[in-house]
Amino acid sequence: MKLNVSIIGAGIGGLASAIRLAVRGHAVTVFEQSGKPGGKMGELRWKDYRWDTGPSLFTLPDLMEELFILADEEMKVSARYEPLEIITKYFYEDGMVINAYGDPEEFIHEVAEKTGERAGRVRRFLRKSKRMYDLTRDVFIFGVFNSLSTFISSRFLKAALQIYRLEVFSTMHGANRRRFRSDHLVQLFDRYATYNGSNPYKAPGTLNVISHLEHNLGAYFPEKGMYKLADELYELARRVGVTFEFETPVEKILLNEGVVKGVRVKGETRKSDLVISDVDIYYLYRDLLTDIPFPKKYFKQERSTSAMIFYWAMDRTFPELELHNVFFSSNYREEFRQLFELKGISEDPTVYLFISSKVVTRDAPEGGENWFVMINVPENVGQDWDSEIKRTRQSIRNKLNRILGTDVDKHIINEVVRDPRNIETETYSYHGSLYGNSSNSTFSAFNRHPNHRNDIHGLYFVGGSVHPGGGIPLCLASSKIVDQQISHHYY
């Protein structure tokens, strides 16, 4: 049965869904309001410099490989990626530096040596985070959430029976605090809450599964930079027959008595049997599904954090830095209190510095580096971002100068800044949040918007706002879920 499918948005979730449905033989059109594919995964160029503007960390690459395999292609032919020997270099204000090696044993040895934590404790934690991942992945990552079958499945019952293993009733920080003696190590593992824009002092300990993805399964980097991934998915989609219409915002989803009839673009009706939305659900209900009552319950939860990013063109290289570097705040608890309770930015924020030219040498001219300097900031609730940028730029520079013993200002030859306002206006992400709702409550995972509403036939939802959490992998997982649901409903 060949279906006409309209996809709204060419973010990662939209592109992956387009590929999956086109290889099944459906006629797929993607409508994208901007001029290019990728959504939050973007790039920026200035003279001989290039920056990835969105995601920088690539985990669970198999989910992307799978899309190429479905199309009978090999991902490595178009977008090679390599495992990282050092995933992240961590700098603390007291002078401690920890290299998080990609090899788990090397990492364990490094933290034991630097922090004095017993190697066995770290090894047990990594084993535990793998067990938690194995118990939860089929339900929470790949499971269909509004289906009773998920909750009576043996996978769910197995996880439910072992709930005591999942650290559901303690916070990430509480669980890490009990587990480790070293404050440095607690902070290092607490940091994984920020991978889905959450607060380690509130999010359930179950989120310690995120460490497993990076420390046991590994982190990777594409040979040609992150944006190449979006570009290659776009090219793959075209090769399998998907049609793209850029600068074509969808104005409305057309329904008749609860059945999808198509979409309206540029004032015209475009008929389709199915519509898949990769749009943040807030804007979807506000603008495109105006006949449906606004589902307030999904917006009661806290939003995930947003970001303030400085893209700096540097006129020198810094051999002491790696691809991913983190300069920790000296008061982590205060940083999160500011982010979530006060919707502000602390005086001493944790700084993440990503330099893709460490791997992709052509991303900066010889003798230079392309710095992507990011701090987590609260969702946009109308803060005075211009003065926040001015103040924070100074704290970031002071911190980097202090820890690196240099004067970074002297080496910045160009600067572009992004904040929650641009993230919201460019990708229609509500309040500029990077990962949809936060996972700050024990029940966040159960409160996510379903990928399909039983009362609307032919409409499916993908992307970060319906699979809140870890960015690219979960957006890819959402498209896999929707593909399975469509197969179940139509064939």
Ligand X SMILES: Cc1cc2nc3c(=O)[nH]c(=O)nc-3n(C[C@H](O)[C@H](O)[C@H](O)COP(=O)(O)OP(=O)(O)OC[C@H]3O[C@@H](n4cnc5c(N)ncnc54)[C@H](O)[C@@H]3O)c2cc1C
41 binds ligand X (CB under 6 A): yes
Quick one: which of 231, 224, 230 has its CA closest to 357?
A: 224
Q: Quick one: 225 or 463, whose CB is closer to ligand X?
A: 463
Running DSSP on this structure, what letter comes out for residue 43?
A: E
Residue 27 β-bridge partners: 4
Number of residues lying near ligand X (CB under 6 A)? 37
434 binds ligand X (CB under 6 A): yes
Provide the terminal-to-terminal Cα distance of the chain, rounded to the nearest Å.
Answer: 7
463 binds ligand X (CB under 6 A): yes
Q: Which pair of structure tokens corresponds to residue 267? A: 């004032």
Q: Which pair of structure tokens corresponds to residue 165? A: 């293993």
39 binds ligand X (CB under 6 A): yes
Q: In terms of DSSP bridges, do strands 351-354 and 250-256 run parallel, antiparallel, or are they unpaired?
A: unpaired
Cβ at position 354, least distance to ligand X in Å: 8
**Which of 12, 100, 314, 377 is in the footprint of ligand X by CB under 6 A?**
12
350 binds ligand X (CB under 6 A): no
Q: What is the 3-state secondary structure (H, E, C) of 118-161?
A: CHHHHHHHHHHHHHHHHHHHHHHHCCCCCCHHHHCCHHHHHHHH
Judged by CB under 6 A, which stretch of 75-83, 110-118, 397-405, 429-437 contacts ligand X? 429-437
Question: Is the distance from CB of 83 to CB of 218 less than 8 angstroms?
Answer: yes
Residue 8 β-bridge partners: 31, 277
Q: Quick one: 10 or 260, whose CB is closer to ligand X?
A: 10
Cβ at position 290, least distance to ligand X in Å: 12
Running DSSP on this structure, what letter comes out for residue 143?
A: S
For the segment 243-272, give every residue that binds ligand X (CB under 6 A): 249-250
**Which of 472, 481, 482, 486 is in the footprint of ligand X by CB under 6 A?**
472
Cβ at position 122, least distance to ligand X in Å: 24
Q: Strand order of the sheet with strand 324-327? A: 97-101, 86-91, 324-327, 351-354, 369-377, 306-314, 412-418
**Which of 4, 34, 150, 330 is in the footprint of ligand X by CB under 6 A?**
34
435 binds ligand X (CB under 6 A): yes
Judged by CB under 6 A, which stretch of 9-17, 154-162, 343-351, 381-389 contacts ligand X? 9-17
Running DSSP on this structure, what letter comes out for residue 213?
A: I
DSSP 285-307: IIII-TTSPP-GGGGSSPBPPEE
10 binds ligand X (CB under 6 A): yes
77 exposure class (CB count in 10 Å sphere: 0-12, 13-18, 19+): exposed
Cβ at position 279, least distance to ligand X in Å: 4
Q: Quick one: 33 or 329, whose CB is closer to ligand X?
A: 33
8 binds ligand X (CB under 6 A): yes
For 149, what's the count of Cα atoms within 13 Å in the CB-facing half-sphere? 5
Q: Which pair of structure tokens corresponds to residue 479? A: 């498209």
**Which of 205, 218, 262, 471 is in the footprint of ligand X by CB under 6 A?**
471
- 209's CB contacts (< 8 A; 6+ apart) are 129, 132, 133, 136
Q: Quick one: 17 or 329, whose CB is closer to ligand X?
A: 17
**Which of 7, 54, 136, 187 is in the footprint of ligand X by CB under 6 A?**
54
Judged by CB under 6 A, which stretch of 92-100, 113-121, 358-366, 425-433 contacts ligand X? 425-433
325 binds ligand X (CB under 6 A): no
Dist. CA 140–CA 474, nearest whole Å: 10
Running DSSP on this structure, what letter comes out for residue 452?
A: B
427 binds ligand X (CB under 6 A): yes
Angle between helices 104-115 and 119-136 (to 10 degrees): 140
**Which of 9, 102, 200, 468 is in the footprint of ligand X by CB under 6 A?**
9
As a dihedral over the C-alpha atoms of residue 480, residue 440, residue 193, residue 385, rounded to 10 degrees, the angle is: 100
Residue type, 79: A
**Which of 6, 29, 33, 338 is in the footprint of ligand X by CB under 6 A?**
33
C-alpha angle 187/418/307, rounded to 5°? Answer: 25
For the segment 280-309, give every residue that binds ligand X (CB under 6 A): 283, 307, 309
32 binds ligand X (CB under 6 A): yes
326 binds ligand X (CB under 6 A): no
Judged by CB under 6 A, which stretch of 37-45, 143-151, 326-334, 403-411 contacts ligand X? 37-45
Cβ at position 88, least distance to ligand X in Å: 11
Sites of contact with ligand X (CB under 6 A): 8-14, 31-34, 39-41, 54-57, 249-250, 278-279, 283, 307, 309, 423, 427-429, 434-435, 463-464, 470-472, 475
